[in-house]
Structure 1
């Protein structure tokens, strides 16, 4: 490893960088001949993107061969990591100095033509990057080209580590495929009782002591959410720590495992919180999530009283995209409320907390579990009737109504009266609610689920309503629309938008030194949580 690091440092600082094809600057972008057409450059630094491959049938990885001064090593990167590097460089240098990346798509596109085109674009990006003396010497570029523990893990996840995996059809797997809790964990030898096996093909270990737990930022029935910083990468995360005893006592292990599975399944949507890791010790479960510090929608609604219509419309549109995507994956959210909607540091919404989701429902299937938050329950849930994904559109109507007026519809402090209002009382409006907003809310808060807006065409039907006429949905889903409000955030660990009710609590010392961690596959006592542990095939992007 030291030899490889020395070779990389030498190549990055000597200016001896090969041009693996002719590079032409055109409209701020760089166009190059295919890298494979260039001869070897001896001691100079070369980067070659090899044929992309799938990891665990879901993640497209780009294997980069890095050659310098007789040393060759490999790094494995996802497209999101190229984007993170580009974004970092744009913050440090003039934007026209940083080469362009190939275009981004919102969801996975696995056609061979698309992936081949993207590979060529990424090769051009690397060539242009290394041609520039300023960028070539940047520490972030050096870090991007360094080998990591994840590389060996990824190589071993390819059957027999041979070329047949590289030529696998990238469009053979359904976009929604995911790891599940039923997958068998592979045991790994450990030198300490503290490490936790991360499941099939995983060799890297995560444990509580890898993190500095800084502040309490949330609380739930089974544990707390804490701001934590990874001691090696210095990235900040929101770590949800749950007590196994409390979960088992209430017979909720199935819901926790379902939440884990859903988080893994919906990793890549722009308006859903991202799971970075999940791991466990003998007495606790840990969800390591993106730290989103713009504050809960509830927090900002309390400060403002209510939102004007353009602001409410923007949030409603992004929430609609998130719900429609969940429905497309066979998931009903069931607990939409302002407390579960976060704002990121740029003002976009992030949906969090998937503990009450129902997974695996097909288009016409229903369920009947009584769950949710009283103020936002749909009539059919209160009646304990069979219900479907239209309950989420009722919840959306309730949240929009609250954003515009300051209170949920049919509100009462007495739950019995509240339920009676939801079931029997007509919807009323304040004078500040426009006619198109009233029309939307009347459709979403229709007591008959079969007549409710969204019952026929789901998200497409909601998006087509006149209330959203001025929303460009394509630009919105790419996060290109300017948010109407930018939270005041001074840095990665800023807690200004987190309720002081949480941050003033002391951090429990037990979260960092749990009572002896165990290898998941070797644990008989933790059979309830078998398959909980998860690590991605490459580290997720830091939200900053």
Structure 2
């Protein structure tokens, strides 16, 4: 499956006529209103996307490393993305503190830019690890799904629906634990009994009720969780087709076919999560409590999991931080300068490559 892309780069000079509208975007007060760009040494661009860049930065005060997302206000206004940008900021600042969710440390702004100072997480996107290995053994998939479910359950407890769970938005830290990022499609104010109708998400992972433009609730996240589990076990999302219309039809009408290679408990939870009727879907009655008590997770100690006491099944070989005189290496090929920018994907946190990275002195 080809990775969905959104890499159209906005020029620094494009649409100057919108610059006057930049003032319409206001982050409001930061958790630390004293934070400002000059508090950081910006070391290297590690991502570039439609609205700006992500830079690896070191805070001068204590030498800590962060990923700083720098967004151009005028480009956001031109593309009418203020709602998604502010949704991300609002969720990140809603006292969201969970071991498997990316942390926002500061947010501040200048006349023409927005700054989000985020955790620098350097274990790579789950997508790239899965792309390299094709599938994961069931115990490894179970570990990741358990951590994702814990994060989703926490968001739901705050009446936040994530809505865009997919391997590209799931990162690994240096220890191998899951970190969910990219809150631009999150919907706030959705309790267990409430619904919304906004059509959004990534095609491969859209729930049937979203495709039908019917009211939906936090059970869309459990559908996505099932889709990601299926992909980790079998290499593709459950109803995938290169033809988008055929894929939509599959999601709406095609039965989930049993395939060899997974345990009966895995198939049971897949059938529950990928139930097309959201009112009968696993998690529809008691949300995360239903998920974590399923037999698939019988071996999981949830307290230990959330305290990161369970050793991850895979530990990435990570770049702690790239120094000024280091070049990135992937598959024996040196990547530097503009080549690095073309090689990365812009997310809430951006990562350096689609394979395990090494650093070498040049």
- TM-score bracket, shorter-length normalisation: 0.7 to 0.9
- Alignment match of 1:372 (pick from 201, 208, 220): 201
In the alignment, which residue of structure 1 is the partner of 2:239? 410
- Whether 1:229 and 2:58 are equivalent positions in the alignment is yes
Q: CA RMSD for the aligned pairs?
A: 2.6
Question: 1:243: Cα distance to partner?
Answer: 1.6
Q: Which residue of 1 aligns with 2:338?
A: 505
Shift of 1:218: 3.1
Return closer, same or farther for 1:489/1:223 CA change in 2, 3 Å cut-off.
same
Unaligned 5+ runs, structure 1: 1-195, 509-544
Q: Give 3-state SS (helix, strand or coil) of 2:93's partner.
A: helix
Indicate how the Cα distance of structure 1 residues 393 and 201 shifts in structure 2: closer, same or farther if over 3 A, else same. Answer: closer
Equivalent in 353, 356, 363 of residue 185 of structure 2: 356
Does the CA-based 8 Å contact 1:296-1:498 persist in structure 2?
no
What residue number does 1:436 align with? 265
The SS at the match of 1:265 is coil
| Distance change in 2, residues 1:408/1:498 (3 Å) | farther
Partners of 2:334 and 2:146 lie apart in 1 by: 30
* Distance in 1 of aligned mates of 2:110 and 2:43: 20
Match of 2:133 in 1: 304
**Alpha-carbon deviation of 1:200?**
7.6
Is contact 1:333-1:358 (8 Å) kept? Answer: yes
Q: Find the counterpart in structure 1 of residue 289 from structure 2.
A: 460
Query: What TM-score results when the alignment is normalised by the length of structure 2?
Result: 0.80
Give the aligned partner of residue 166 of structure 2.
337
What is the 5 A alignment of 1:102-181?
none
- Number of matched pairs: 312
Is 1:206 the equivalent of 2:49? no
Q: How does 1:3-152 map to 2 (within 5 A)?
A: none
CA contact (8 A) 1:321 1:477 kept: yes
1:420 and 2:249 aligned: yes
Q: Is the 8 A contact 1:210 1:232 kept in 2?
A: yes
CA contact (8 A) 2:27 2:107 kept: no
Tell me the CA shift for residue 314 of structure 1.
0.2
Q: Which structure: larger Rg?
A: 1
Distance in 1, matches of 2:314 and 2:185, equals 29
Structure 1 position 347, deviation (Å): 0.9
Query: What aligned pairs does 1:177-192 form with structure 2 within 5 A after superposition?
Result: none
Q: 1:390 and 2:222 equivalent?
A: no
CA shift in 2, pair 1:213/1:501, >3 Å: farther
Contact residue 214 and residue 507 of structure 1 kept, 8 A: no
Contact kept? 1:294, 1:345, Cα under 8 Å: yes
Whole-angstrom CA distance in 1 between matches of 2:230 and 2:274: 10
Distance 1:308 1:280 in 2: 44
The 1-side partners of 2:157 and 2:126 are apart by 25
After TM superposition, give the deviation of residue 497 of structure 1 in Å: 10
Task: Give the corresponding residue for 1:168.
Answer: none
Query: Is 1:279–2:116 an aligned residue pair?
Result: no
Deviation at 1:506, TM superposition (A): 6.7
Unaligned runs of 5+ in 2: 1-25, 342-362
Name the structure, 1 or 2, with higher relative contact order (CA <8 Å, separation 6+): 2
Task: Indicate yes or no: 2:324 matched with 1:483.
Answer: no
Question: 1:216 maps to which residue?
Answer: 45
Residues 316-374 of structure 1: per-residue CA shift (max 9 Å, x gap): 00000000000000000000000111100111101111000000123311001000000
CA displacement 1:212-232 (0-9 Å, x = unmatched): 333333344322322222233
Q: What SS does the corresponding residue of 2:338 show, helix, strand or coil?
A: coil
Contact 2:135–2:232 (8 Å) recurs in 1: yes
